[in-house]
Amino acid sequence: MNKFIKAILITILFLFFAKNDAYSSENFFETSFSVFYKADEEGFLEASYEIETKNLTTEKYAQSYFLKLTGIKPENLKAFESNKELSVETRNESDGFGIKVYFDQNAVGKGNGHKFKISFIERSVIRKTGSVWEIVLPRISTETTINDIKTEIVVPKSFGELAYVSPDPHEQIQGNESYYFYFSGENLTSESINLAFGDFQVFSFSITYHLDNPLNSVSDIELAIPPDTSFQKVIYESIDPVPLDIHSDEDGNWIAKYTLASRQRLDVKATGYIQLFSTPRKLREESEDYLKKTTMPDLYWESDDEKIKLLADKLQNAYEIYKFVSREFEYNYDRVRPESKRKGALKAISEAPDSICTEFTDTFIAIARAAGIPAREINGYAYTENTQLQPLSLVADVLHSWPEYWDKNKQIWVPIDPTWEKTTNGVDYFNKFDLRHITFVIHGLDSEKPYPPGSYKLGPNPEKDVFIAFSNLPSERNPEISLYSDKIDLKSLTKAKYKIKIINTGYSAAYNKEMKVYFDGEERDVVHLKPIFPFSQEEYSISFSSGLFGSKMPKKITVSVDSTQINIDTNKNMAMLRGVVSIFLLLFIIVFGVFLKYRL
């Protein structure tokens, strides 16, 4: 009788402790994954998960297995074990898609388990936006211990050149028709694999600025237009009316200048194209003085506050600051409207659950600056499929903001987006940046100015002023240099001077140009030119020794920039004649003066 009771008790205890689902406790099971993805030219993804579970104790075994994947809507989902199809239950969850597989047989005993396969077709993780193919693969979530995970991805080469991949694969092979990427490591369960193909992305833009001079006198008005950056090139189709001048400020903004009469209002419309690059270009050098300025506190970047200093001491580097902001802050979609009040970093930290992109950005900048890391704000446009943001961005000029930090090793400003990491279920926007962010203005020295497009509103019923769409590169997109010269100015009997005016009548900025000067066919001087922006001009004065009576003056001066050149006829003979006449006239005056003196 006692043996019978003991047997019953043992059976009850065994049934009590034996859990059906492998995910019920990670201490009793471990799992390994071998994941295979294949993208096809139609934008479909074939997915196959080979999963092996193993019991870590003799007390528990699994009758089912639960797996959660983020950001997918699988079709034709099936599971097999030993070539036998298994029963599968699926459900949509708030943070992913749940898949529960039921096993036909129990694998009891330590070291035993199941080897099974899940396969499906997915249509939503591969998308073509403009001229760029993007792939965002699902994150794997399971509460069992994952001791090994390997992922292979095959992508057709027809997708174009690889723009970026994150995280870095441990191996990458380029075949005749496909790319092969191999990943491994436990971090694949905490972050998505992201790939993009295509050399660049192109957007068209149309922006209207409403200028107003409220003064009773003539006034100069400046506005910031979309600039070139390391990651973007701006091709201007038109700026109407054409500005008096376009120059660059210390942050790298392009500033267009207009003169308005008293009480005048003026609408300025800029149209063109923006080409985004996956690999940064080196456009300008940043001085130590400027970098130091971008570590200073400002109105919304209270980097001198003790609370922010403590966070900076704790977090120390840009990545930890980024993770802190994207982890601790919550995005409040209800606050996304044109009249939303900007809080600044200090208030944003105390109200982290009530944040929009400006709070994410301001907080990163303030902490980074407190840690001595140069940081600044980018205000612009970011294309998104997020339906909670799209409707408003289509009817109102609600722009996006994100931070940049200075990478002293790469010597570039690195754009990141902690807001999008929060709103895209953990997609990594620190180690890679997409081809969807367009810079309108850069805020480095001032957290508010220059004002971005969409801010120049007049009247009680403002209209939408910013329009962006996917596009293709226009056929006319290069700078066009024209040269003009004043006449030679003889400053004295031995010196001469002339001015060269360089005008960019083309569609984009001209960089790293040299102006070469030739005297009678012989190279005399090389001038390294500043950037010349579209619809703008630069003027250079060149002085040289003409020699006595113009004896050293060349007969012809040739000035060239690339394939454009002008010839300046110096009228050397006339200059020599003027010199001789001047000398004789001077001698005549002297002699005549002496004559008059002695005669009197």
Q: Minimal CA–CA distance to 274: which of 256, 295, 297, 254?
A: 254
> What is the CATH number for 238?
3.10.620.30
Same domain for 337 and 289, yes or no, is yes
Neighbours of 25 (CB within 10 A): 15
Report d(CA 137, CA 160) in Å as an integer: 18
Which H or E run contains 348?
helix 345-350
Contact criterion met (CB below 8 Å) for 69 and 140: yes
- What is the CB-side half-sphere exposure of residue 505 using CA atoms within 13 A? 7
Q: How many independent structural domains does the chain possess?
A: 3
Q: Minimal CA–CA distance to 63: which of 113, 119, 13?
A: 113
Parallel, antiparallel, or unpaired: how do β-strands 232-240 and 64-69 relate?
unpaired
Same domain for 227 and 333, yes or no, is yes
Of 1 and 556, the one with more pLDDT: 556
E strands of 185-317, at which residues?
Answer: 194-197, 200-212, 219-225, 232-240, 245-248, 254-260, 265-277
Determine the straight-line distance between the first and last CA of the chain, rounded to whole angstroms.
160
In a domain, 287, yes or no: yes
Q: Which residue has tokens 């446009």?
A: 381
Report d(CA 304, CA 290) in Å as an integer: 18
pLDDT at 346: 92
pLDDT at 492: 61
Same domain for 446 and 545, yes or no, is no
In a domain, 161, yes or no: yes
Confidence check: pLDDT of 391 > 60: no
Q: Minimal CA–CA distance to 122: which of 143, 97, 86?
A: 97
In a domain, 6, yes or no: no
pLDDT at 555: 81
pLDDT at 460: 57
The per-residue pLDDT for range 292-313, each reduced to its tens digit, is 999 999 999 999 999 999 999 9
Q: In sequence order, what are the beta bridge partners of 47?
A: 37, 120
Same domain for 307 and 390, yes or no, is yes
Angle, vertex CA 426, rays to CA 423 and CA 430, nearest 5 = 100
Arithmetic mean of pLDDT, 441-461: 83
Angle, vertex CA 590, rays to CA 588 and CA 596, nearest 5 = 100
Same domain for 71 and 153, yes or no, is yes
Domain boundary among 413, 443, 474: 474
Q: Which residue has tokens 């491994």?
A: 184
In a domain, 192, yes or no: no
pLDDT at 17: 41
Report d(CA 491, CA 305) in Å as an integer: 59
Of 116-125, 164-173, 179-188, 556-565, minimum mean pLDDT range: 179-188
Report d(CA 68, CA 312) in Å as an integer: 35
- Percent of the chain having pLDDT more than 90? 47
Q: In sequence order, what are the beta bridge partners of 522?
A: 519
Arithmetic mean of pLDDT, 545-564: 78
| Top mean-pLDDT range of 202-206, 385-389, 559-563 | 202-206
Report d(CA 328, CA 100) in Å as an integer: 31
Which H or E run contains 172?
strand 171-174
Supply the range of the domain harboring residue 524: 481-577
> What is the CATH number for 492?
2.60.40.10
SS3 for 397?
coil
Confidence check: pLDDT of 18 > 50: no
In a domain, 588, yes or no: no
Lookup: tokens for 107: 């694998």
pLDDT at 396: 57
Arithmetic mean of pLDDT, 400-405: 94
Domain boundary among 113, 146, 167: 167
Same domain for 387 and 497, yes or no, is no
Arithmetic mean of pLDDT, 172-178: 92
pLDDT at 214: 92
Contact criterion met (CB below 8 Å) for 579 and 550: yes
Give the gyration radius of the chain's Cα atoms: 34
Main-chain phi, psi angles of 57, to 5 degrees: -135, 170
The per-residue pLDDT for range 240-265, each reduced to its tens digit, is 999 999 999 999 999 999 999 999 99
Omega cis (within 30) before 450:
yes
In a domain, 407, yes or no: yes
Report d(CA 53, CA 67) in Å as an integer: 12
Same domain for 354 and 499, yes or no, is no
In a domain, 212, yes or no: yes
pTM score, whole prediction: 0.76
In a domain, 582, yes or no: no
Same domain for 230 and 158, yes or no, is no
Same domain for 365 and 457, yes or no, is yes
Confidence check: pLDDT of 3 > 80: no
The DSSP code sequence of 39-69 is E-TTS-EEEEEEEEEEESSSS---SEEEEEE
> What is the CATH number for 142?
2.60.40.1730
Confidence check: pLDDT of 44 > 80: yes
Which H or E run contains 596?
helix 572-599
Main-chain phi, psi angles of 579, to 5 degrees: -65, -45
Same domain for 403 and 527, yes or no, is no
Same domain for 351 and 271, yes or no, is yes
Same domain for 417 and 487, yes or no, is no
Q: In sequence order, what are the beta bridge partners of 536?
A: 504
